[in-house]
Amino acid sequence: MTMKRFIKIILIAILVLAIYSLMPVAWLYLKPQGPLPPTNSQTIDSLKTNKGKYFEFIVFGDCHSGLVLDDSATLRVVKMINRELRYKKIPIDFVMVTGDLTFRGTEWDYKNYNKIRSLIRWPVLSAIGNHDDDNGGETRFDKYIGAREFSFRNRNSYFIVVDNITNDMTETQFEKLEEDLKIAQDYKHRFVILHKPPMSLYQQSWYKPETSSWSYRFMKLCERYKVDMVFSGHEHMFKTNSYGGVRYFMSGGGGMITKTPEADGGYLNYLVIRVYKDYLDYEVRKVHPPFWEVITYYMWKNLVFFIRDAIL
């Protein structure tokens, strides 16, 4: 076999694999819209009968539905989430999406998000992100998702979802949060979900938590009322750290391309949180992007950081 022929075969193989990796997203777009998935309040209602002190829940963010690049990756995230069933350990009660459900809030974006969340085996709860009200998206959020701020109990745990897409929290929101945190004292565990993290766990120059006054107040409240974990998205990567006894997560790797180096957490991901009575732990699952995105984007991203690290 000549070299030329060999290269030709390799290129054809790459092309075939790339097309093959695009099939799930093509299927998603061709698939007719099924019945509308439940709103947040309907999902919360379905959790009320859960009993026992052992459970898991899953968290991811920033699927930014509606863009082929994102949907294709989110389908891989969803596929892996659905495979969590194979461990058959303890029940998975729900999946929490930490906002930026849609690419830019359009009808097309929301319809895609509805199709995608319908594919998830477990009940899905969605927080609002700063792109979900783009292009008049707030009315679509109201229609398809419903409540933006809510709290609910699940077994021995209490969950509070806050809307902070304006990059601030009002006085009324703080009062409501504190009220909720007081109620939450009767539970073993307390979790808060909000799209934008109170501080960047991976400092990026555009993100200036030190200039946002709500962060300090929010983090002090979480510390005082012994919140176990705070989940955010917004930054398209995975990172976690602990401050004031509270564990903070950024898990915005649900589909949108990740720009930070992979070694720093710039990869697609979702979290599995396990609650064993009074004990808590978590695992982060790294999701491999679809092949066509590897050859058009991710391998180049990795190459750029590799060269940067080698020469700078």
**Token pair recorded at residue 237:** 């990567």
Q: Based on CB atoms, which residue is closest to Fe ion, 132 or 228?
A: 132
Minimum CB distance to Fe ion, residue 62 (Å): 4
- The nearest distance, CB 226 to Fe ion, in angstroms, is 29
Chain residue at closest Cβ approach to Fe ion? 100
Helix, strand, coil content of the chain in percent (nearest 5) = 45, 20, 35
- Determine the residue type at 179: E
Cβ proximity to Fe ion: between 236 and 285 the closer is 236
Backbone angles phi, psi at 181, to 5 degrees: -65, -30
Residue 62 vs 93, nearer CB to Fe ion: 62
Cα(308)–Cα(235) distance, integer angstroms: 22
CB of 72 vs Fe ion, minimal distance in Å: 17
Q: Which residue, 189 or 234, is less far from Fe ion as judged by CB? A: 234
Between 56 and 100, name the residue whose CB sits nearer to Fe ion.
100
At 138, which helix (H) or strand (E)?
Answer: helix 137-140
Which helix (H) or strand (E) element contains residue 231? Answer: strand 229-232
Nearest CA among 187, 204, 190, 184 for reference residue 259: 204
Quote the least distance from Cβ 136 to Fe ion, whole Å.
18
Nearest distance from C-beta of residue 84 to Fe ion, angstroms: 24
* Interacting residue ranges for Fe ion, rule: CB under 5 A: 62, 100
User: What is the residue type of 267?
Assistant: Y
